[in-house]
Each structure stands twice: as C-alpha cells, then as structure tokens.
Chains A and B, each alone.
Chain A
Amino acid sequence: EAGVAQSPRYKIIEKRQSVAFWCNPISGHATLYWYQQILGQGPKLLIQFQNNGVVDDSQLPKDRFSAERLKGVDSTLKIQPAKLEDSAVYLCASSLTGTGGYEQYFGPGTRLTVT
C-alpha cells in the first residue's frame, strides 16, 4: 500500500515570497490533515478536511495561508507571503473517517526555510 506522498521535501525561499506544498493521501482516506511542526515542538493542526470540505481551520493564519482539496483527494497548502516564523516542517497526514479510532498516516514532510 502506498503511503502519504508529499512534495517538495525541502524548500528555501526568501521572506515575502510564496510557496506551495502538495500532498497525496492514502487511497480511500477521506480525512486529510495539514500540520506545522516547528523544531522542538509537537505538530500543530493547520487545517483538516473531510473529503473536500473543511472540518477545522481555526489555527490557519488565513491572511497568508490557504489550502484546498479538490475532488476530495490531493491537497495543496500555500503560503503567501511567507514570514521568517513560517520556517518549519509541514506535515500532511490522512486517516479513515469514523468512530473506529483510526490512526493517522503521515507523509515525510516538507522542510521550509524562510530567509
């Protein structure tokens, strides 16, 4: 079974530039999550989708971050314009949906450095 795919793996940009990350979840997983993980901290949820609808985006800085999940499969996360404090690893995860306590499967992450 293929895992969660993310690209790119690494990205270096200057502040005020824009960047986009891509995620392809495990086939059949209706729920998709984007997390921001700053070095030394736990993952912080940015946005959660169920199919192509947003379940939770309460911690997404909407003035600069946006995300979409067209057709309920792939997803993209965009930052425009980037700030120095956006330097982090951006993790995508997916899971089955429902009350079964289904675990999340994580992609390898994209390490973003903003200079």
Chain B
Amino acid sequence: GDSVTQMEGPVTLSEEAFLTINCTYTATGYPSLFWYVQYPGEGLQLLLKATKADDKGSNKGFEATYRKETTSFHLEKGSVQVSDSAVYFCALKETSYDKVIFGPGTSLSVIP
C-alpha cells in the first residue's frame, strides 16, 4: 500500500542554519504531497503542498519540490528561526479516494 517515510528526529539546529527534512513516498498513481506542521500545544496545520510532478510548494520561507523520479518531497529552509521549532509531517493524498497518509513526523528544535 501507499506509505510515507521521513528522516528520523529529533533535529536540533542553531538559529540561521540551513534545514533539510527528507521525505520519500510510495504510491500508485499521482498523489498530492503535503507538509503539515504542529507547533507546541497547537493543532496540525498545512505548511505547503504540491499537486503534480515538478511543482514547488512554498510558505514562510520553507520550500519543497515534488520529485516523481525520486519519489521525494524534501522540506528545506535557508535560515531557520527559533519560532520554527515544531513537529513536521510529510503526507500524501491518494487520487482515488482522498485518503491521506502521514509520515511519523520529524521534531525540530532551533536554539538561539
């Protein structure tokens, strides 16, 4: 079945460091891909998305490109801030039944 794999956390970075969180997927068809973020004490919210191959999603300085050839959707940010400390979830949405599958999440801590 379809699945999402993310790099293991927790990840700890200093402020202004470069961030990459790897995400790969297995799916039949052409799913949509998402990154959701969960800040401490808050609910899940959409960070960015891409709906077809080579699309780049971006928001709040974060970017991810839908790479069909490598089945990847890695999340990147050039300069992280303390306020980016959160848990990041990669997810795919199947085209057939709108089923959404989440990865296990990657916890990010940014220290001043």
* Interface residues, chain B, with chain A CB atoms under 8 Å away: 32, 34, 36, 42-46, 49-51, 89, 93, 95, 97-105
Contact = CB atoms under 8 A, between A and B. Distances in A.
Interface string A77-105: 00000000000000101010111111111
A103 B46 CA distance: 7
Closest 10 CB pairs of A and B: A101-B32, A101-B51, A42-B102, A106-B44, A103-B46, A42-B104, A108-B43, A106-B43, A42-B105, A43-B102
A93 to B, nearest CB: 8
B94 to A, nearest CB: 10
Nearest to A3: B43
B32 A106 contact: no
The main secondary structure of chain B at its interface with chain A is: strand
Contacts of B43: 91, 106-109
A104 B100 contact: yes
B58 to A, nearest CB: 14
A48 interface: yes
Interface residues of A, number: 28
A32 B95 CA distance: 16
A48 B105 CA distance: 21
Contacts of A56: 97, 99
A50 B100 CA distance: 13
Contact of A55 (B89, B99, B103, B105): B99
Contacts of A95: 98
A79 to B, nearest CB: 21
A101 B93 contact: yes
Given A42-B103, A48-B99, A91-B43, 10 more contacts: A45-B101, A99-B95, A101-B50, A102-B98, A103-B49, A104-B44, A105-B46, A107-B43, A108-B42, A109-B43
